[in-house]
Amino acid sequence: MTTFGIDLIHQAAARIRGKIVTTPLLSSPQLDELAGCRLLVKAENLQRTGSFKIRGALNKILSLTDAERARGIVAFSSGNHGQAVAAAAKQAGCRATIVLPATAPKIKIDNCRWWGADVVTYDPDTQDREDVGMKFVHEQGMTLVHPFDDHLVMAGQGTAGLELAEQAKEQGHTIDTLVLNCSGGGLSSGVVTAVNNASPGVQVFLVEPEGGEKMARSLASGQPERNPMGTHTLLDALSGPNAGAKPLEVLSQYPVTCLSASNQQALHAMAVAFRLLKIVVEPGGAASLAAVLNNPDHFRGKTVAIVCSGGNVDAAVFSRALSAR
Using the rule CB under 8 A, which residue among 24, 116, 141, 222 binds a copy of itself?
A: 24
Binding letters toward a copy of itself, positions 217-256, x by CB under 8 A: ----------------------------------------
| Closest separation in Å from C-beta 136 to a copy of itself | 26
216 closest CA partner among 172, 249, 168, 248: 248
| Closest separation in Å from C-beta 94 to a copy of itself | 17
Any catalytic annotation for residue 188? no
Query: Closer to a copy of itself at the Cβ: 233 or 312?
Result: 312
Stretch that binds a copy of itself, among 60-68, 215-223, 239-247, 311-319 (CB under 8 A): 311-319
- The residues that bridge with 237 in the sheet, in sequence order, are none
Cα–Cα dist 119/135, whole Å: 14
Using the rule CB under 8 A, which residue among 17, 113, 114, 296 binds a copy of itself?
A: 114
Cα–Cα dist 85/120, whole Å: 14
Residue type, 268: H
Is 92 a binder of a copy of itself (CB under 8 A)?
no
Cα–Cα dist 123/139, whole Å: 21
Query: Closer to a copy of itself at the Cβ: 46 or 198?
Result: 46
Cα–Cα dist 264/224, whole Å: 27
Which residues lie closer than 8 Å to 246 by C-beta, 6 or more apart?
Answer: 4, 148, 149, 150, 151, 154, 185, 189
Which residues lie closer than 8 Å to 119 by C-beta, 6 or more apart?
Answer: 82, 97, 98, 100, 109, 112, 113
Q: Which of these is catalytic: 78, 199, 239, 260?
A: 78
Binding residues (CB under 8 A) for a copy of itself: these are 21-24, 26, 30, 43, 45-46, 50, 107, 111, 114, 271, 274-275, 277-281, 311-312, 315-316, 318-319, 322-323, 325
Residues with a catalytic annotation lie at: 53, 78
